[in-house]
Amino acid sequence: MLLNFRVKNYKSFVEDSELNMLAASIKEHSDSLIVENDVKVLPIAAIFGANGSGKSNFLEAIALLHDLLIVYSSKDERVTLKDCVSSYIFDSEIKNSPTELEISVCDKETKKEYRYGISLNSEKILEEWLFMKVFSQTKNVKEKCVFYREYGKKLRSDLSDKDRKEIDFVFSFTLEDELLMSNLGKRGISKYQYICRWFKEKTNYLNYSSDIILSKKNFKLMEVFYKNKNWLDIIVKFMKTIDESIINIEIDEETNNNMNVVYTPYSIHKNDDGSFARIPFSLESSGSKKMFTFLLYLLLSLNNGFTLVVDELDSKLHPLILRYIVGLYTNKKINIGGGQLIFTSHNLICLDSSDLRRDEIFFVEKINQKSSLFSLYDFKDSSIRNDLSFGKHYLNGRFGAVPFINDDKE
């Protein structure tokens, strides 16, 4: 479960920007909150802002940390830091400063909170740290330093000699452009690998900023549908509600030209004469293809408590479908696993007090090429009531983060 994510000097985010998923002390929609060890956590973070403001950059920073830990460290995908680190480019001094990424997550099973972060440039890891503590609403719970790594210096840790033996061993073969945490995760036996496990098994990043296609990654999902008939039935039922022309969806196990097994989806439609037509699902509309692949991630999130990070969730979707998806996460009878949805959008249908809490609404604003992230809850103006039409006032520029349009006419 995500508690906090912080980024500094990544693309347009120069100064510290933080997404805080801990619920504020407000009463609105309190029955929708995720509660663990008496701590209240938000199930939703909706991020709005003008085109080019940096909304995607913020979510890409989360994806970057995932890739550094899980993807780029693999033998097949080994890349240099220069290939993936992208600091602010409009100031030479800032450009040469480190990029910082930090995340805090909760392990629901052990009730432990882990705070992990890195400071790096295009050549090496300058700093890397992991702290842990009991996940509790008690503010004075002390963190324990699992490790703190600083380039050119000796590794620090608050662990006992016995417990830090593994940390020291893994650190001994970790290169200057590698993450110690990534190497701990590769071992698969470390009790301090939860950050890697969370990124690998408990979160998904989806980018819908480009055309919706049934990519190779999404085709792998078809095997899950093929082997889990109950899930496919649920998804078909939902697909019928958004596209009434679809009667059913079938998935065939086939062999491609390379003699590899593939799972191909087909949609069933009813012809005018009452007969049925079976067509490749790749011929369906962009919106139908998006929802078909998205629904599996959605079910995993709601049932198993995964965190779903989605750029441009509203792309290709009717506004009422977007509102329906948000409502799934705020309904605890449906969100039984305590899943979280973090998304960017231009559609303001959910920017309303009837759908979201003030601390679930975030804005990104760019001034002089520099982006900042802030919450609606940050506005302490007493006139911002919890029954306010947030969308209307946002469009009027009350909260900033809107495009400047010069409508003066000669």
Q: So where are the chain's domains?
A: 2-202+307-395, 216-291
d(CA 399, CA 377): 11
The residue-averaged pLDDT of 176-199 equals 90
pLDDT at residue 18, as a whole number: 95
Q: Give the CA diameter of the chain.
A: 77
Q: Give the percent of the chain with pLDDT over 70.
A: 87
pLDDT at residue 408, as a whole number: 45
> Using 50, 70 and 90 to split pLDDT, how confident is the model at 41?
very high
Answer yes or no: is pLDDT of 390 > 70. Answer: no
Answer yes or no: is pLDDT of 31 > 50. Answer: yes
What's the gap between Cα 281 and its chain centre?
27
Q: What is the mean pLDDT of the chain?
A: 85
pTM for the model stands at: 0.86
* CA-to-CA separations, 221 to 197, 242, 302, 360, 372, in angstroms, rounded: 20, 21, 17, 30, 35
CATH among 3.40.50.300, 3.90.1170.50, 3.50.50.60, 3.40.190.170 for 2-202+307-395: 3.40.50.300
> Using 50, 70 and 90 to split pLDDT, how confident is the model at 182?
very high
Neighbours of 253 (CB within 10 A): 12
Answer yes or no: is pLDDT of 400 > 70. Answer: no
The residue-averaged pLDDT of 61-88 equals 79
CA torsion sign, 345 to 395 to 372 to 353? Answer: negative
C-beta separation of 81 from 99 below 8 A: no
pLDDT at residue 215, as a whole number: 52
Strand pairing class (125-134; 112-120): antiparallel
The residue-averaged pLDDT of 296-303 equals 90
> Using 50, 70 and 90 to split pLDDT, how confident is the model at 19?
very high
pLDDT at residue 74, as a whole number: 62
Answer yes or no: is pLDDT of 380 > 90. Answer: no
pLDDT at residue 214, as a whole number: 47
The residue-averaged pLDDT of 266-284 equals 88
d(CA 35, CA 111): 12
